[in-house]
Amino acid sequence: MRTFRRLSLPAKIAVVVIVFAVVANAFGAFRNDDGTSGGTTSETLPETTSSVPPRGSADTTVPTTTPAPTTTAAPAPPSSSGGGSSDPLAGLTVAAERRAGYDRDLFDHWIDADGDGCTTRFEVLIIESRTPVSISGSCTLSGGSWVSPFDGVATTNPSDLDIDHLVPLAEAWDSGAHSWSASRRRAFANDLDLAAALVAVTDNLNSQKGEQDPAEWLPPRAAYRCTYVRDWIAVKKKWELSIDPAEADALRRVLATC
Ligand SMILES: [Ca+2]
Ligand SMILES: [Ca+2]
């Protein structure tokens, strides 16, 4: 300080200018080093980091959010599990039978619906004859020939044949007909529209079958059983009759062999 006092005014000014220049130069050096030197000062300068988002965090989060790999895992439709739609018993209700109140006379059967003199019984014989049938008098048939599907026995004598309700009247009652009107029971008992509903069969087999369903009785002719069971199902479906659990098992058991 003593030497500074001894200096002349121009010299002092020169010293001040030099000192100022050195200091100013030093500040300039710090600013230029911000981007390159990466010293501790660069981390504290807010100007450079404010315009650019925090790089470290931004750069790592972007790539993790842009890919969406979840869409490849989503489509997994197990719709190829067919089989349910091919169930031959689909649409049938499985329920316990209900016998209370049954009387065969509640089914008005063997009517002459079209008034031509031939009852339903004779209509079936005429339809199922394998040869032309002549009808005379009060529906007397001649010239017919039949083969009973239950046993394969052929006959030309219609009195050897019974007309079987494939689903017996009692079975129908047990599986839903108990809640029907009399006219619906009559329609069921005289169903000529569904070929499977009424079948001309050897009379003693019709008696043997009685009121039994496929869990209890099947036709003796094994080659016919698949048709018998399919026809049974067709009748039950048409008339919206239920099947009992044992009956359902029997139907499936037979169908598995077809
Ligand atoms: Ca008739
Ligand atoms: Ca049954």
Ligand 1 centroid, distance to 124 Cα (angstroms): 9
Q: Which ligand is nearest to the CA of 192?
A: 1
Q: Which ligand is nearest to the CA of 217?
A: 2
pLDDT of residue 86: 84
Quickly state the pLDDT bin for 85 (edges 50, 70, 90): low
Ligand 2 centroid, distance to 196 Cα (angstroms): 17
DSSP 8-state code for residue 84: S
Q: What is the pLDDT of residues 161-176, one digit of tens each?
A: 999 999 999 999 999 9
Nearest to 192 by CA among 113, 249, 88, 250: 113
More confident residue, 199 or 23: 199
Query: Is the pLDDT assigned to residue 57 strictly greater than 80?
Result: no
Nearest to 137 by CA among 120, 160, 118: 118
Ligand 1 centroid, distance to 132 Cα (angstroms): 17
Q: In whole angstroms, what is the distance from residue 15 CA to residue 7 CA?
A: 10
- Beta-strand pair 154-155/146-147: antiparallel
What is the value of pTM for the model shown? 0.68
Distances (CA, A) of 194 to 23, 165, 235, 236, 252: 114, 11, 8, 11, 22
Once rounded to an integer, what is the mean pLDDT over residues 39-59? 31
Query: Is the pLDDT assigned to residue 65 strictly greater than 90?
Result: no
Ligand 1 centroid, distance to 101 Cα (angstroms): 30
